[in-house]
């Protein structure tokens, strides 16, 4: 069972902010939105924004602002859950998050669940914390998390959330303010797929949903998925799925009968 003592998100502090606790009483998770200094292995070290640090009970806690302001999310809690007490996460050592926006949303939900006494409060908090710790674990096993990685992640999220937009390599490069050639190189190196293939795959994925669950025509679906030419849409759809759109729709309908 886990009991939250306090949780806050997007909390802003002044330049002289310091937390100095020689022996912490509870578990403490801190996620930074700005650079900060942490006491690690007997020395004060600076870490970038989007760093996370987990302190176990009885551990020394010391961190401070190192700029005009310090902004963070944090949660202080007690727990006997194995996914926390036996976690392979490093204790008292910051590490970079691979998806800070995802973690921010989880913190916002944790704040809501903690502050309101709803019927399923305990189970909701448990689910959110388990998900948050999964994201922390994913982060420690990912290498080369840089500021440019976060920009690429925002671009990829925009592509997958809005595949029907008019995406071109030039537009995506301008989104990151880098050259088209450099974008193509680092995008594929980071995600294992080219930026345009990511666009195409996202479009075909949502097109499959429309074909199965909507009554729109193939031409309407093609337009909605960002294709100005229905024949081009049909060629790409067949190349990826093995079926022309109409046959895919019929095949999906036969599977549900």
Residues 112, 160, single domain; the answer is no
pLDDT in tens, 127-153: 999 999 999 999 998 877 888 999 999
Residues 57, 78, single domain; the answer is yes
What's the half-sphere exposure (Cβ side, CA atoms, 13 Å) at 122?
4
Residues 187, 217, single domain; the answer is yes
Nearest Cα to Cα of residue 75 among 134, 175, 8: 8
**Domain stops at, among 140, 175, 210:** 140
Tokens of 126: 């448990």
Query: What is the model's pTM?
Result: 0.85
Per-position b or e across 170-184, b if 16+ CB within 10 A of its CB: eebbebbebeeeebb
Residue 155's pLDDT band, with cuts at 50, 70 and 90, is very high
In the chain, how many domains are there?
2
Q: Is the pLDDT of residue 6 over 60?
A: yes
pLDDT for res 29: 98
pLDDT in tens, 27-63: 999 999 999 999 999 999 999 999 999 999 999 999 9
Q: Is the pLDDT of residue 255 over 90?
A: no
**Domain stops at, among 140, 168, 189:** 140
pLDDT in tens, 223-248: 999 999 999 999 999 999 999 999 99
**Domain stops at, among 84, 115, 140:** 140
Residues 132, 242, single domain; the answer is no
Residues 177, 60, single domain; the answer is no
pLDDT for res 256: 63
Residue 257's pLDDT band, with cuts at 50, 70 and 90, is low
Find the CATH number of the domain harbouring 250: 1.10.10.60
Q: Can you tell me the mean pLDDT for 15-26?
A: 96
Nearest Cα to Cα of residue 73 among 5, 26, 8: 8
Q: Is the pLDDT of residue 3 over 90?
A: yes
Higher pLDDT, 145 or 170: 170
What's the half-sphere exposure (Cβ side, CA atoms, 13 Å) at 246?
5
In terms of residue numbers, what domain contains 29? Answer: 2-140
End-to-end CA distance of the chain: 45
Q: Is the pLDDT of residue 89 over 80?
A: yes
Q: Can you tell me the mean pLDDT for 100-119?
A: 96
Distance, CA of 25 to CA of 90 (rounded, Å) = 18
Residues 12, 29, single domain; the answer is yes
Q: Let me know: does 99 contact 153? Beta carbons within 8 Å.
A: yes
pLDDT in tens, 195-213: 999 999 999 999 999 999 9
Going 172 to 158 to 129 to 135, the CA torsion angle's sign is negative
């Amino acid at each position: 069972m886990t009991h939250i003592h306090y949780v806050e998100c997007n909390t802003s502090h002044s330049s002289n902010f310091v937390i100095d606790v020689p022996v912490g009483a509870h578990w403490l998770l801190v996620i930074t939105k700005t650079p900060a200094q942490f006491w690690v292995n007997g020395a004060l070290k600076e870490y970038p924004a989007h760093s996370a640090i987990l302190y176990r009970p009885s551990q020394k806690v010391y961190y401070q602002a190192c700029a005009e302001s310090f902004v963070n999310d944090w949660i202080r809690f007690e727990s006997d859950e194995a996914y926390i007490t036996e976690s392979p996460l490093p204790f008292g050592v910051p590490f970079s998050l691979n998806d800070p926006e995802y973690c921010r949303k989880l913190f916002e939900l944790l704040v809501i669940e903690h502050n309101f006494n709803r019927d399923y409060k305990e189970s909701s908090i448990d689910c959110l914390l388990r998900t948050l710790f999964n994201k922390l674990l994913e982060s420690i096993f990912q290498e080369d998390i840089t500021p440019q990685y976060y920009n690429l992640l925002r671009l990829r999220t925009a592509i997958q959330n809005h595949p029907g937009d008019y995406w071109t390599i030039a537009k995506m490069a301008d989104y990151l303010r880098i050259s088209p050639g450099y974008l193509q190189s680092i995008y594929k190196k980071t995600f294992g797929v080219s930026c345009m293939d990511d666009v195409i795959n996202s479009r075909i994925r949502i097109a499959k949903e429309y074909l199965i669950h909507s009554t729109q025509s193939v031409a309407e679906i093609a337009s909605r998925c960002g294709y100005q030419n229905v024949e081009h849409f049909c060629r790409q759809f067949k190349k990826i799925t093995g079926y022309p759109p109409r046959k895919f729709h019929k095949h999906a309908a036969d599977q549900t009968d």
